[in-house]
Structure 1
Amino acid sequence: MILRNILRAAALTAALFAGSLAAKADALDDITKAGVINVGVFADFPPFSSVNPDMSLKGYDIDVAQILADGLKVKLNLVSVTGQNRIPFLTEKRVDLLMSVGYSAEREKVVDYVSAYAPYYIAVIGPQALKVSGKEDLADKSIAVNRGTLEDTSLTAVVPASADVRRFDNYNSVIQAFLSGQAQVMVVGNDVGSQVLAKRVDLKPEQKFQLLSSPDHIAINKNEPRLKQALNDAVAKLLADGKLNEISVKWLQKPLDPKDLKD
């Protein structure tokens, strides 16, 4: 009887110890144990991320994600996401982190932010002939925007009630809507806008005004302090050793100004 009680006590102690270890496990432990980090990226967001002819992904975000994975000594697995599904993908742990996430107080209720790693601002772009210089001029205009993104929420906060906001499921559709005349203006980031400005000289598109300046952050799930610290340290190192500047010159064609990483 005594031996049986001792064995039961030992089994209970072992179970409690195992439960304690499981409770202490976190995202960083899970990533290290799996040997892979799942990173959510847009597939149509050049120059931050876009598809190569061989269907692999390239861009600013891809280079940064690879360096982060190398620093953690794990394999990088890129997961294509959209503006609508990327937050659920993160909270449901289908990805470990998201790239290119602009800061918003509303979004911060759901996710945690790592230090900014890329400059980004949101602008209204339209043809030169169209007179638009401020949010009040958007009245009665048709506007293309990517649904569920920071561009969408920023536009929604200021757009006049009479504006015709046309929401699309990806950036390519937003650009096509603008170029084809389905929308008079589009609301996109400086990166997407610069490509349209450069390619469509005939349309004479121009930046009308900025809606918001919001550098790109990495987003992770709440209550993951060890993963957040590891990623913050990695971004700080990239900034200090000039790697982020190299990536900026490569993909944005301009040196990185640290001031552009401040919200």
Structure 2
Amino acid sequence: MNRTAKLVVSALAFAPLVSFAQDTATIRWGIDPTYPPFEAKQPDGSLAGFDIDLRDAICEQLRAKCVWVEQGFDGMIPALRARKFDVIMSAMTATDERLKQIDFSNKLYASPGALVAPAGSKLLPTAASLAGKRVGIDQGTTQEAYAKAEWATKGVTIVSYQNQDQVYQDLVNGRLDATFQDKTQAGYSFLKTPRGKGYAFAGPDVTDVRITGYGVAMGVRKGDADMKKRLNDAIAAIRANGTYQKIAAKYFDFDIYGAKQQLSAAP
């Protein structure tokens, strides 16, 4: 690392002492806590997950009081626009379609889409392979949009659910032939758990831009340039001072931020 780079990192690491010292307002964060390991509700009612820890670190940088507001994922954007909360922090991918309605921070992380089916099924995430099959998907996700565009018109029955837990429950109960969702979420919250026994990823990852978009980011209302800048500055700071990497290491054994399938951060 050259001297210039060191100075940049040093400046970012101490940015909260200067840039965010006066930021004490309450910020409301919209979340659907049904998507581990990113966000989930614990038996005692508390929230836990990668997004939860990231938000706490970001709020520390912002020196703001932060509160969670629970919201179903499919209603997340309308609720943000209606000012029910100020920021979406719920594993939402920044896509061109969503950018027509709201703005996004820079990238937090990204993960490809993946099909899950009974082990040995030989199914593939293609319309030809899934023709005549029932595929469960969490409604409002980029995976749902992709499946409806690419598969539903070609003989594949797409079944949408209010949350991911319901998707897995119907798969286990034999009501679905496969599920299609974020690969990281499927691996950690289903395949590595007892109820995921007998199931496996089916076929290759799906890295279509409609799924990966510009990576997962925080959503803000259109025109809220101040909030967007504050969030971007906080992301840069926690990546520069190592906080981001420490949090990521608690949940993942791979680079969730820099996976090669990711695109550049949203503008």
* Shorter-chain TM band: 0.7 to 0.9
Partner SS state of residue 216, structure 1: coil
Measured after TM superposition, the shift of residue 98 of structure 1 is 0.5
Q: What per-residue deviation string (whole Å, max 9, x for no partner) do you get for residues 126-174 of structure 1? A: 1122222241212111000011111211211211431111110011101
Q: Which runs of 5+ in 1 are unaligned?
A: 1-30
Q: Which structure is richer in relative contact order (CA contacts within 8 A, separation 6 or more)?
A: 2
Aligned to 1:143: 135
- Alignment match, 1:11: none
Equivalent of residue 198 in structure 1, options 175, 185, 192: 192
Asked if residue 112 in structure 1 is aligned to residue 103 in structure 2, the reply is yes
Structure with bigger strand share is 1
Tell whether the 8 Å contact from 1:47 to 1:252 is kept in structure 2 after alignment.
no
Structure 2: distance between partners of 1:198 and 1:257? 21
Asked if the contact 1:120–1:191 (Cα under 8 Å) also holds between the matched residues in 2, the reply is: yes
Q: How many residues align?
A: 232
Q: Is the radius of gyration larger for structure 1 or structure 2? A: 1
Q: Which residue of 2 aligns with 1:159?
A: 151
Could you tell me how far apart the structure 2 residues matched to 1:91 and 1:54 are?
Answer: 31
Q: Which amino acid aligns with 1:262?
A: L
Alignment partner for residue 67 of structure 2, among 77, 85, 95?
77
- Retained in 2: the 8 A contact 1:128–1:204? yes
| Structure with the largest fraction of helix | 1
When the two structures are superposed, what TM-score results if normalisation uses the length of structure 1? Answer: 0.81
Mean Cα deviation higher: 117-126 or 248-257: 248-257
Which stretch of the first structure deviates more once superposed, 222-231 or 151-160?
Answer: 151-160
- Sequence identity (%): 22
Q: CA RMSD in A?
A: 2.0
The 1:78–1:207 alpha-carbon spacing in structure 2 relative to 1, beyond 3 Å, is farther
Structure 2: where are the runs of 5+ without partners? Answer: 1-21
Q: Comparing 187-196 with 57-66, which one deviates more in the overlay? A: 187-196
Residue 211 (structure 1) aligned with residue 212 (structure 2): no
**In the alignment, which residue of structure 2 is the partner of 1:251?**
251
Deviations 1:96-140 (A, max 9, x none): 011221022111100101111122221111112222224121211
- Match of 1:186, as an amino acid? T
- The alignment's TM-score, normalised by the length of structure 2, stands at 0.80
Q: Does 1:175 align with 2:150?
A: no
Instruction: Name the structure 1 match of 2:238.
Output: 238
| CA positional deviation for 1:32 | 5.1
Counterpart AA for 2:138: N
> Contact conserved, 2:125 with 2:202, CA < 8 A, in 1?
no
Q: Distance in 2 between matches of 1:173 and 1:250?
A: 26
> How far apart, in 1, do the equivalents of 2:85 and 2:56 lie?
15
Equivalent residue letter for 2:95: S
